């Protein structure tokens, strides 16, 4: 019955009828809050200062399959060890008052000059479990290289799940404090997920990677066994090569990444809310596993676009709304994702 209804486009009705209990469990000694759906770990909000921003890690499908890369928190055999600042799912940007929040980590390579900013968790405003939805509201500070706060962040996470689906809605409000905050056109942003090796696109050319210790490792050709990732945007464009260049930098209201993990079909979708700045946003959809949406980049993706620059005056705020959907067992079609986007848009 589930499969029949999904095929006829009524997946949303199943989702609402079969939504499962969501429990949020604080583990302060380990600086995290676990999110469980029907008793199984879905994700965890993690806020150690060692990773320079709060993240959601891991992200698990309803089956328990992990869709995020393990490195650098929990490396797994066969994974890439590039970009140590790509941790789970996160929100930051590459040019804020001249500070790079994106590339900051404890393992910054010499190719990154900074100055670097960091995002520090300040407090939990609300933590609420629920029969259908879990709610977490947190406050964080965006700090410059000298530790001075330039932005205050308030983020609301809404967690939900059913037998074959998980979702996270992230609503982030950034407020400038006593000085203007300038965001400049930059490709490094804004909301991102670093996915598991199986969701990458097969690579067919030599590559060079820098590991967490700064060691440069040339790779002739990676082993593509089990690597099955394909990007598809709302317009039907696909990305299947190493850089996913059919969809990279394009504007779209949503993007999906499909693949097979452990013999199971998996779909990860990111939705852009129509109220977001520069909607529909540009996409950082890289074949090596970076799945990101950027509402603050423009000319850097398309030379025909004007250069983006935003000055946020003291006391003024900017809000972004994104949603992640993770499916397994039944692969949703573009029509169902579009319906989810319309529902999210309301």
Q: Mind listing the pLDDT tens digit for each residue in 114-128?
A: 899 999 999 999 999
Contact by Cβ (8 Å): 218, 89: no
Rounded Cα gap, residues 83 and 71, in angstroms: 9
Nearest to 117 by CA among 169, 186, 193: 186
Residue with tokens 């947190």: 138
Q: Which positions ≥6 away from 232 have C-beta within 8 Å?
A: 238, 239, 247, 255, 256, 258, 334
In this structure, of 54-68, 143-157, 192-206, 262-276, the range with the lowest mean pLDDT score is 192-206
Q: Which residue has the higher pLDDT, 237 or 205?
A: 237
Helix, strand, or coil (residue 47) = coil
**Count of other CB atoms within 10 angstroms of residue 21:** 15
Residue 241 has pLDDT above 70, yes or no: no
Helix, strand, or coil (residue 151) = strand
Contact by Cβ (8 Å): 328, 264: yes
pLDDT at 332: 84
Verify cis geometry, omega within 30 degrees of 0, for the bond prior to 127.
no
Rounded Cα gap, residues 297 and 183, in angstroms: 9
Residue with tokens 């590339």: 103
pLDDT at 331: 72
Structure letter (DSSP) for residue 294: E
Q: Which of the four pLDDT bands, split at 50, 70 and 90, describes residue 11?
A: very low
Residue 233 has pLDDT above 60, yes or no: yes
Q: Which of the four pLDDT bands, split at 50, 70 and 90, describes residue 322?
A: very high
Contact by Cβ (8 Å): 158, 57: no
**Mean per-residue pLDDT of the chain:** 90
Contact by Cβ (8 Å): 137, 125: yes
Rounded Cα gap, residues 300 and 186, in angstroms: 6
Q: Which of the four pLDDT bands, split at 50, 70 and 90, describes residue 222?
A: confident
pLDDT at 243: 53
Cα dihedral value 130, 133, 139, 143, nearest 10:
140
Strand 189-194 vs strand 290-294: parallel, antiparallel, or unpaired?
A: antiparallel
- For residue 229, the enclosing domain spans 2-345
Residue 218 has pLDDT above 80, yes or no: no
Rounded Cα gap, residues 68 and 246, in angstroms: 23
Q: What is the mean pLDDT of residues 233-240?
A: 92
Q: What is the mean pLDDT of residues 76-96?
A: 93
pLDDT at 293: 98
Q: Which of the four pLDDT bands, split at 50, 70 and 90, describes residue 333?
A: confident
Q: Mind listing the pLDDT tens digit for each residue in 42-77?
A: 999 999 999 999 999 999 999 999 999 999 999 998
Q: What is the mean pLDDT of residues 245-257?
A: 93
Q: What is the mean pLDDT of residues 13-39?
A: 86
Q: What angle do CA 284, 149, 145 make, to 5 degrees?
A: 70
Rounded Cα gap, residues 72 and 86, in angstroms: 8
Q: Which of the four pLDDT bands, split at 50, 70 and 90, describes residue 329?
A: low
Give me the CATH number covering residue 140.
Answer: 2.70.98
Question: For residue 338, what is the enclosing H or E element?
Answer: helix 334-345
Q: Which of the four pLDDT bands, split at 50, 70 and 90, describes residue 208?
A: low
pLDDT at 267: 97
Question: For residue 158, what is the enclosing H or E element?
Answer: strand 149-162
Q: What is the mean pLDDT of residues 191-216?
A: 76
- Percent of the residues in the chain that have a pLDDT greater than 70, as a whole number: 89
Q: What is the mean pLDDT of residues 178-203?
A: 96
Helix, strand, or coil (residue 51) = helix
| Domain count across the chain | 1
């Amino acid at each position: 019955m589930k499969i029949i209804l999904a095929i006829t486009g009524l997946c949303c009705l199943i989702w609402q009828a079969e939504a499962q209990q969501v429990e949020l469990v604080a583990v302060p000694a380990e600086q995290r809050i676990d999110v469980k759906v029907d008793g199984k770990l879905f994700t965890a909000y993690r806020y150690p200062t060692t990773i320079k921003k709060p993240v959601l890690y891991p992200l698990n499908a309803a089956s328990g399959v992990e869709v995020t890369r393990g490195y650098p928190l929990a490396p797994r055999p066969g994974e890439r060890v590039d970009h140590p600042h790509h941790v789970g799912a996160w929100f930051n940007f590459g040019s804020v008052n001249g500070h790079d929040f994106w590339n900051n980590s404890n393992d910054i390579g010499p190719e990154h000059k900074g100055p670097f900013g960091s995002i520090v968790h300040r407090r939990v405003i609300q933590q609420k479990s629920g029969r259908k939805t879990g709610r977490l509201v947190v406050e964080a500070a965006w700090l410059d290289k000298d530790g001075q706060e330039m932005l205050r962040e308030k983020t609301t996470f809404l967690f939900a799940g059913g037998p074959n689906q998980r979702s996270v809605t992230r609503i982030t409000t950034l407020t400038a404090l006593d000085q203007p905050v300038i965001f400049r056109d930059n490709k490094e942003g804004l909301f991102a997920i670093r996915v598991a090796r199986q969701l990458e696109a097969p690579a067919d050319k030599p590559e060079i990677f820098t590991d967490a210790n700064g060691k440069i490792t040339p790779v002739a050709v990676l082993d593509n066994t089990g690597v099955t990732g394909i990007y598809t945007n709302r317009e039907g464009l696909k990305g299947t090569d190493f850089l996913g260049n059919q969809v990279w930098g394009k504007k779209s209201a949503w993007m999906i990444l499909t693949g097979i993990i452990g013999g199971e079909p998996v779909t990860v979708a990111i939705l852009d809310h129509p109220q977001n700045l520069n909607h529909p946003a540009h996409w950082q959809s890289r074949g090596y596993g970076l799945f990101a949406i950027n509402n603050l980049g423009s000319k850097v993706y398309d030379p025909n676009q004007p250069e983006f620059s935003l000055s946020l005056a003291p006391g003024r705020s900017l809000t972004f709304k994104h949603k992640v959907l993770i499916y397994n067992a039944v692969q949703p079609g573009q029509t169902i994702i579009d319906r989810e986007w319309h529902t999210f848009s309301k």
